[in-house]
Amino acid sequence: MDIQTLTFIIVGLTFALYIGIAIWSRAGSTNDFYVASGGVHPVMNGMATAADWMSAASFISMAGIIAFAGYAGSVYLMGWTGGYVLLAMCLAPYLRKFGKFTVPDFIGDRYYSQTARTIAVLCAIIISFTYIAGQMRGVGVVFSRFLEVDIATGVYIGAAIVFFYTVLGGMKGITYTQVAQYVVLAFAYLVPAIFISIYMTGHILPQTGFGATIAEGVPGGGEYLLQRLDGLSEQLGLAAYTEGVRSKIDMFAITCALMVGTAGLPHVIVRFFTVPKVSDARLSAGWALVFISVVYLTAPSIAAFAKTNLINTVNGPDLQGVEYEAAPSWIKNWEKTGLISWEDKNDDGRMFYSGDARNEMTVDRDIMVLANPEIANLPAWVVALVAAGGVAAALSTSAGLLLVISTSVSHDLLKRTLTPNITDKQELFWARVAAAVAVTISTYFGIYPPGFVAQVVAFAFGLAAASFFPAIIMGIFHKRMNSAGAIAGMVVGIVFTLAYIIYFKFVNPTANIPDNWLFGISPEGIGTIGMIINFIVALIVHKMTGDAPQATQDLVESIRYPRGSGAATHH
């Protein structure tokens, strides 16, 4: 059976499973739609959170970035994992105890202000749109290859499917669907990694294969994998794989922006309201970290295997290039999508991949994980399984983000601000309308993306870091922080960060080089500066405008300290 037929069967079966689950757990009320009635087991919630959080950026693009950027790509691993720990320890239990299931709800009530709520809604929508644009691109990459259509058609097909099951199931349907999606994506990520690790290094665990010597009979046999990769990279005019090409300050800024951005991401925070108790919120965050690490600890090895195999198959064992006519089938398959192209610069009929003027290959870095099993010549069912995993990763996060956009509009903007008298049914209707509009806009950005998947997602994290993170942290740990300070900080933080990203990515992309960056920090890392500015502005405005009302301070105190603590010391 050929790859395409197998892919249709495996992806079709996983879809039947997701849609079956969505229908079985259909949302009957707004409480079901928003937070699954708060009745999900912590382990299940941990799996769903992991699937929600490991988007197309984690599954499709992260190993691709590490494959192309080497050491510099590790910022994504460190930032996203560190952010999860920060979220579990510092934020999740307190937000859960506060009892608000959207970030704008928390900010509106904690800062006793409708203006603060509305600004938070706008920030949530901007962040979610930026993030979902990256997911739609990921969906498009998967569908374009396996349906053998161009990327725009792939994006349209993916968008229609995402919309269908978000609108049908709400949070209840999404939670149980995401448990299934986690199982599919983890299996799809690990199986090819184990296969390739055994073939290339003789090690079953990809993590140990990553640091091992290459097996005899494979090009470079007897050499350490990373040593071989460093040597190949330098021979081909690429930066050494294990050495950083980014400055230390930029590495730090991107890691920090991704880390605090994780902690401020609205679609992840809402997950902590789908469990019965506050202690379960912390427990499910711990479980999520376990499930996430299964994929994250495998990414560097997949990246190294993919890069080595790419160079070996395109340039041949003697690094002289391979006849295009004799090119492996995976190159011809991916060429149909427009994500790989070959230009014969010296008319010798041979393909050549390098990092200098000799290069004839354009390889989209977002295809590395999906193409990896084909490059390594694995069985067709493994290739099909990876397609199903890529679809699961992109769809699970897209659904979570659509839910954030629809709840922000229907619950926070309409119900809590503009039209407080609408019925439950009307609120649900407007949530679905908002999801439809969101899908349409994000489809456009999926077809004309401002960057590759993980880069677009990094922008979303930077925006979350610059807007939400300080407001949430000060809302919990600085009881005297007032609404004027929080509002000023959020506005200045997000405007500065958004302007910086738009300038370097859209207005003047030719200027997007380290010499022109503020303090040498790239658009992916500028959220760190945005966050610092947010904190500074908020604290200055608070100093000038006085403390929050006593009732608010008492409320914050009651969230931070359990009832009865310290009672024995008061007389």
Kindly calculate the radius of gyration of the chain based on its CA atoms and give it in whole angstroms. 24
Is residue 22 predicted with pLDDT exceeding 70?
Answer: no
Residue 247's pLDDT band (cuts 50, 70, 90): confident
Instruction: Give the CA angle between residues 443, 449, 453 to the nearest 5°.
Output: 100
Under 8 Å CB-to-CB from 446, ≥6 apart: which residues?
133, 135, 136, 137, 139, 140, 155, 158, 159
**Mean pLDDT in residue range 149-153:** 80
Is residue 490 predicted with pLDDT exceeding 80?
Answer: yes
Which single residue is written with the structure tokens 């690790």? 197
**Mean pLDDT in residue range 257-269:** 77
pLDDT at 173 (0 to 100) = 56
220: domain CATH number is 1.20.1730.10
Yes or no: say if 138 and 61 are a contact pair by the CB < 8 Å rule.
yes
Closest CA to 315 of 280, 267, 354, 364: 354
pLDDT at 37 (0 to 100) = 46
Is residue 342 predicted with pLDDT exceeding 60?
Answer: yes
Yes or no: say if 94 and 395 are a contact pair by the CB < 8 Å rule.
no
Is residue 225 predicted with pLDDT exceeding 60?
Answer: yes
User: Helix and strand tally (H, E) in the chain?
Assistant: 24, 4
Q: How far apart are CA 170 and CA 399, in angstroms?
A: 9
Which single residue is written with the structure tokens 């050491």? 71
Domain that holds residue 69: 3-102+115-249+274-306+378-449
pLDDT at 64 (0 to 100) = 82
Provide the residue type at 556 as one letter: V
Yes or no: say if 340 and 362 are a contact pair by the CB < 8 Å rule.
yes
In a domain, 170, yes or no: yes
Q: Residue 232: how many CA atoms within 13 Å on its side-chain side?
A: 31
Residue 452's pLDDT band (cuts 50, 70, 90): low
Yes or no: say if 415 and 153 are a contact pair by the CB < 8 Å rule.
no
pLDDT at 264 (0 to 100) = 67
In a domain, 345, yes or no: no
Tally the domains of the chain. Answer: 1
Is residue 174 predicted with pLDDT exceeding 70?
Answer: no
SS (H, E, C) 411-422: HHHHHHHHCCCC
pLDDT at 495 (0 to 100) = 92
In a domain, 179, yes or no: yes
Yes or no: say if 84 and 269 are a contact pair by the CB < 8 Å rule.
no
Residue 253's pLDDT band (cuts 50, 70, 90): very high
In a domain, 387, yes or no: yes
Q: How far apart are CA 210 and CA 117, in angstroms?
A: 48
Q: How far apart are CA 214 and CA 478, in angstroms?
A: 54
Is residue 496 predicted with pLDDT exceeding 90?
Answer: yes
Residue 100's pLDDT band (cuts 50, 70, 90): low
Quick one: tokens of 547?
């403390």
Provide the residue type at 352 as one letter: F
- Cα distances (angstroms) measured from residue 400 to each of 96, 231, 248, 355: 18, 42, 34, 38
Residue 322, phi then psi, degrees to nearest 5 = -120, 140
In a domain, 239, yes or no: yes
pLDDT at 101 (0 to 100) = 63
In a domain, 566, yes or no: no
Q: How far apart are CA 116 and CA 488, in angstroms?
A: 9
Q: How far apart are CA 393 and CA 434, in angstroms?
A: 23
pLDDT at 533 (0 to 100) = 95
Q: How far apart are CA 524 and CA 517, in angstroms?
A: 11
Identify the three-state secondary structure at position 11: helix
In a domain, 525, yes or no: no
pLDDT at 156 (0 to 100) = 86
pLDDT at 488 (0 to 100) = 93
pLDDT at 450 (0 to 100) = 65
User: How does the average pLDDT of the chain come out, rounded?
Assistant: 79
**Mean pLDDT in residue range 436-453:** 76
pLDDT at 497 (0 to 100) = 92
Which is more confident, 297 or 564? Answer: 297
In a domain, 174, yes or no: yes
